[in-house]
């Protein structure tokens, strides 16, 4: 019985994590050539909305063969009009994409500016892209993550009950 409970708890917990991790799967991206490189910024969701987290994945490719190009870090600015809302450097990740999560708070026009840099901090490729953010609706914002979060909470709760039952039966045996 304990094995069934532990297996069920693990399955629920993994389902919750997978729902959260795979919520970003739109395959939408912006591309720009910055010779000798191609800048590729993947983004999710397709339509940016106030209060909804946006994910940006920063990739750099060689222009000639389109293989991944190495960089030390990418400098990212998010601007609205004349105001810089975010300015940060993100180191290239050794596994997986170099990612930024950002939540827009006001609808309107924005711009994301990127500058890929080498270890000395020299620009090797740069580009900027416009972003339009809409007001959106609160129920739509919750839905993609809500199911995963609920599954995760149920998994943690069920796991705690299962562990307590196992410890109780071990103490009583």
Superfamily of domain 2-172, CATH level 4? Macroglobulin (MG2) domain (2.60.40.1930)
Q: Where are the domains of the chain?
A: 2-172
Per-residue confidence (pLDDT) for residue 154, from 0 to 100: 76
Tens-place pLDDT, residues 102-136: 999 999 999 999 999 999 999 999 999 999 999 97
**Residue entry with tokens 């060689």:** 62
Q: pLDDT confidence of 15, banded at 50, 70, 90?
A: very low
Per-residue confidence (pLDDT) for residue 14, from 0 to 100: 46
- Among the residue ranges 33-37, 84-88, 92-96, the one predicted with the least confidence is 92-96
The pTM for the full model equals 0.65
Per-residue confidence (pLDDT) for residue 160, from 0 to 100: 64
In what order do the strands lie in the sheet containing 83-91? 48-49, 123-134, 108-117, 73-80, 83-91
Tens-place pLDDT, residues 68-84: 999 999 999 999 999 99
Question: How high does pLDDT run on average in the chain?
Answer: 80
**Residue entry with tokens 């999710």:** 44
Q: Tell me: pLDDT of 30 over 50.
A: yes
In what order do the strands lie in the sheet containing 28-34? 28-34, 37-44, 53-62, 98-103
Per-residue confidence (pLDDT) for residue 9, from 0 to 100: 46
């Amino acid at each position: 019985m304990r094995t069934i409970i532990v297996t069920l708890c693990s399955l629920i917990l993994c389902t919750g994590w997978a729902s959260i991790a795979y919520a970003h799967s739109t395959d939408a991206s912006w591309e720009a050539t910055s010779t000798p490189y191609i800048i590729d910024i993947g983004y999710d969701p397709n339509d940016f909305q106030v209060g909804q987290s946006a994910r940006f994945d920063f990739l750099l490719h060689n222009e000639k063969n389109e293989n991944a190009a190495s960089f030390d870090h990418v400098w990212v600015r998010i601007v609205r009009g004349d105001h810089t809302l975010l300015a940060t450097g993100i180191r290239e990740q050794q596994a997986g994409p170099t990612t930024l999560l950002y939540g827009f708070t006001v609808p309107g026009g924005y711009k994301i500016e990127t500058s890929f840099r080498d270890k000395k901090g020299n620009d090797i490729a740069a580009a900027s892209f416009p972003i339009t953010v809409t007001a959106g609706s609160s129920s739509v914002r919750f839905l993609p993550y809500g199911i995963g979060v609920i599954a995760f909470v149920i998994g943690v709760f069920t796991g705690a009950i299962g562990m307590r039952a196992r410890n109780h039966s071990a103490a009583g045996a």
